Amino acid sequence: MKVIVVTGASSGIGYQMASYLGQKGHHVYGISRSKLHDKYVKSIQADVTELEQLKTAYQDIFDLEGRIDVVINNAGMGISGAIEDTTTEDASYLMNVNFMGVFHSTKVALPFLRKSGGGKIINISSVAGRLAIPFQAFYSSSKAAINAFSEALQNEVSPLGIQVCAVMPGDIKTGFTKNRKKNALDSECYKNRIEKSVGVMENDERNGMDPMVAAKVIYRLVQQKRMPLYKTIGFKYKVFVFLQKLLPASLVNALVGMIYAFKKEK
């Protein structure tokens, strides 16, 4: 039995993985802004953008359990639209949730993981962190930042007995699709292309993997003795990530553009 903390646990893959881990006998605490109702997960309301709230949440968990073994940084959101039309406020907020939220949770959790004799940090990234998606630039950027953060963190904390893994799921069927924030206005030169691009994204997501697939992958990472630095979820996405390493960057970017950018449209 491990004591596991999951951020962004009230919906989507966060909810699925938290509940599944709880069903497997682990003591799971779900941190989210809204109340989580699941008999296998103890809900704690806190916002990952608020460092002091996380300090209180982690301290309460440690005081109750006497240890923290695994932290899963999952909280996140998406924005779609052209870079030119994205407001500074929206871009800053996304980066605050998706990236700074991971930093805040990690920063607060590390002393407790050390006191517990080591542990695991699992950061939920995305294949979009490796293959940047047009009209979803800030989401892709935040996930690329999580990847870099995870690499640096692994080298910093491995001597302390703490392992780090960045998990990169492909398209998963969750409420993330309907909750994605769209730019309030689209410039005429992008408008039709954005509609087509977002349509492709949303269709892929609606027909994506069941979130239980991700939950089972996370469960195996929690159980195994040593985690990889990266874990891609979904066979075809593993192929995409593998090809991204082999092919020239300009070619890979052009291929992504063919799928999502609709560059030839006038």
**Helix residue ranges, H only, the chain:** 12-23, 51-65, 88-95, 101-115, 137-157, 176-179, 188-206, 211-223, 235-246, 249-260
Find the catalytic residue in 15, 20, 29, 139: 139
Catalytic (active site) residue 158: no
Catalytic (active site) residue 34: no
Find the catalytic residue in 42, 143, 190, 237: 143
Find the catalytic residue in 19, 105, 125, 142: 125
Asked whether 7 and 105 are in contact (CB, 8 A), the reply is yes
In which residue are the tokens 């460092």 written? 51
In which residue are the tokens 């950018």 written? 261
Nearest CA to 260 out of 98, 137, 84, 144 is that of: 137
Q: Decide: helix, strand or coil at residue 96.
A: helix
Find the catalytic residue in 2, 10, 19, 150: 10
- 10 Å Cβ neighbour count for 200? 14
Catalytic (active site) residue 10: yes
Catalytic (active site) residue 230: no
CA dihedral sign of residues 252, 143, 5, 19: negative
Residues involved in catalysis: 10, 125, 139, 143
